[in-house]
Chains A and B, each alone.
Chain A
Amino acid sequence: MEKSTFKVKVGLAEMLKGGVIMDVVNVEQARIAEDAGAAAVMALERVPAQIRKDGGVARASDPEMIQAIQAAVNIPVMAKCRIGHFMEARILEALEVDFIDESEVLTPADEDFHIDKGAFKTPFVCGCTNLGEALRRIGEGAAMLRTKGEAGTGNIVEGVRHLRQLRSEIRKITQMGHEELMTEAKRLAAPYHLVEQIAETGRLPVPNFAAGGIASPADAALCMALGAEAVFVGSGIFLSADPAKRARAVVEGTTYWEDPARLAKVSTGLGAAMAGLEMATLGDADRMAKRGW
């Protein structure tokens, strides 16, 4: 018997495909998420929009709230640590969370180095904005990726940009001759063997989900249509007028993204979405997607 192999780590990501992973800040929200059909929950103390509003340093959550959520639901429970903060990650591993998100939503702890994720038993998910960043994280051992989007804005524009960027860069590699791949690996600052692998398969070696700015069933469906294999919803559900209803609608919108009539039905009468932010109002320092490299 061999535990915590890369296959077993990626295996859990495979089992989350077509699903919605919802940010929850307490047991009550976790139960609402599970009842609405969430495939997993992300336990954290404040959703990204609240972190944005409060300012200050955002750290990993109190183990007590993570454990309370683990006890309350049967679906997988994920939790976030700061970029590079391998000690927060060790604590989350000791809590036996099912996935650790090395997340730009929290304040980075290391501006040079991401966590050596292959050294952990728990699988990791990391954010990416382009193919080079995606392959660097896989090189470090991430078993799942998510495009970053711009968390806590309720605005899908950055998520769309990152999904399109990834897809376009993957397509280009599949058109290249073998002799072009080393130069491309240099340009991307990505491990050569992973670039070679993409040239061969036309896809990332681990599942890629979408995150950042998803606030409606239509946003979730748009991400799926652009190649995301599942979606993370942070602030979009529990900062809306009717979280239970919107949560279920986003779940259905993710599964039935190819069926516009069904999307029209689930988008009906959801009440107010979260207010959201226009990107032009954000300075560079406010952009979480720029954290990490």
Chain B
Amino acid sequence: MLLPSRPSRVAAWVLFFVLFVPVFGLPIVVVGAASVAGQWNDVLPSHLTLRHLHDAFVSNAGIELLTSLATGIIASVVALVIGTWAALAVRALRRRGAKVIGTLFVLPIAVPSVSVGLGLLVAFSRPPFLLNGTSVIVVIAHVVLVTAFAFSSVSAGLARLPAHFEQVAASLGGRPAYVLFRVTLPLLTPSLVAAAGLCFALSMGELGATIMVYPPGWVTLPVGIFALTDRGAVFDGAALTVLLLVLTLVVLVAVSRIRTRASYR
């Protein structure tokens, strides 16, 4: 008990909410309000409306939403496969090698997303990889940016995995592949699900690399939102942002549900 007296505790709580609510709560509330605001020329919006969401969908939002979902799902799955494979392979290496190779896999975290996009633009505009102007380059950009998170998340899960499960399984005569698919990966499920959720959420909100590489036919939601706000349609932008947040939240909540259930095993 750091603060013994009740008045001092109450003072600390008041300080907390004075800081927390305006800094973190207000932005989310205000974007939410703007997404359904009829006219906002005062402290509070004049009336509530779903017109912004409707307008956004009448233009391109539907396609952008599907584009983002497709990009996010494909990128997450690919990143999860690469990241899990890499994490398992790196674990089998000796200390020194594991450290070097592991660093190679997490380094994309340190590279600015705009630079990742620029690199793809420069490298994939010439043979042997002519991908500029295709949707593939967008997916690749997302894979690059989220694989590192999948790798470190699965690696952390592996590190927490007690070694004796696999040793017992092997002592019972489980062949390596059998142990991998029947023991290691099932035990790793919570980490895998968490990694998938994180990758999807990050991909859904990705802007820096996408804006560098996207072709006209593959506009993701964040790029679409920027286009809207850039030409002054901030309320429509807010509506789409709320849509994006809700979608992300739904996935994160689903993931944490699956995760709790999986961890009972």
| Same assembly | no
Query: Which residues of A does B touch, CB under 8 Å?
Result: none
